[in-house]
Structure 1
């Protein structure tokens, strides 16, 4: 696995990866456009960039799916979201508020910070949004 810093992708590209990962199958570009509420040409451009960066495979008229690199990064994104949501819940926000607030800033939090927070919280296994995996917690 390529070393992840957690800061490789823009918030918009992160949304694409999360949605493709959530669907667990080939996703057509028109579905992505509709879900993300963007113009189809923007979706095509972003998908081509993600393909060039090695996160997705795109076969025209068949859809987009994650590569191994994309799956690893998506797993990190889910872990980051769940750890940050749990942290905010522990500070008094409701689970719904915590999840919503994390969506505003999570793309700016590095893997190192997540590993440190995770370690400080005792490597929790369950977050407000689901199970927390610890495949590469370095701290």
Structure 2
């Protein structure tokens, strides 16, 4: 996947662990040091460096010399989708009797295996909710079959 076609991602490109890296960096809103990522995600520094290199090679991250990493445009779009996917799926689970905490925990177990197309269809069927149990839901990239509410 390259920068030109990042809107074409399926949502299934990354492992759950690599998705955690992108969400963490998005949450930090800027350049993040490798040591901070290792510490907060409780990952060995050598594993963190290897994973960040793989994400950078794939076009999701920029290495900022002596400072750490930040998201590329593609990485930011993908990370925003990851957050949106979690929030849509968690909200769906609360509609079926799960508490907020239960919904977040349950969705965290399987969300990496739910495609962007499936998330868009669920979002569409829910009327494009603006707020989920975990926060605001973005809809910039959520136009399915030309419908947007």
TM-score by length of 1: 0.96
Unaligned runs of 5+ in 2: none
Q: Within 2, Cα distance between the matches of 1:52 and 1:41?
A: 17
**1:53 to partner: Cα distance:** 0.5
Q: Within 1, Cα distance between the matches of 2:135 and 2:108?
A: 15
Unaligned runs of 5+ in 1: none
Tell whether 2:59 aligns with 1:61.
no
Q: Within 2, Cα distance between the matches of 1:118 and 1:102?
A: 15
Which one of 11, 14, 20 corresponds to residue 6 of structure 1? Answer: 11
Tell whether 2:142 aligns with 1:132.
no
- After TM superposition, list the pairs within 5 Å mapping 1:1-139 onto structure 2: 2=6, 3-137=8-142, 138-139=144-145
1:101-120 deviations in whole A, cap 9, x for unaligned? 11111100001110111111
How many residue pairs end up in the alignment? 139
Alpha-carbon RMSD across the aligned residues, in angstroms, is 1.1
Q: Within 2, Cα distance between the matches of 1:50 and 1:33?
A: 15
Q: Which runs of 4+ in 1 moved over 6 A?
A: none
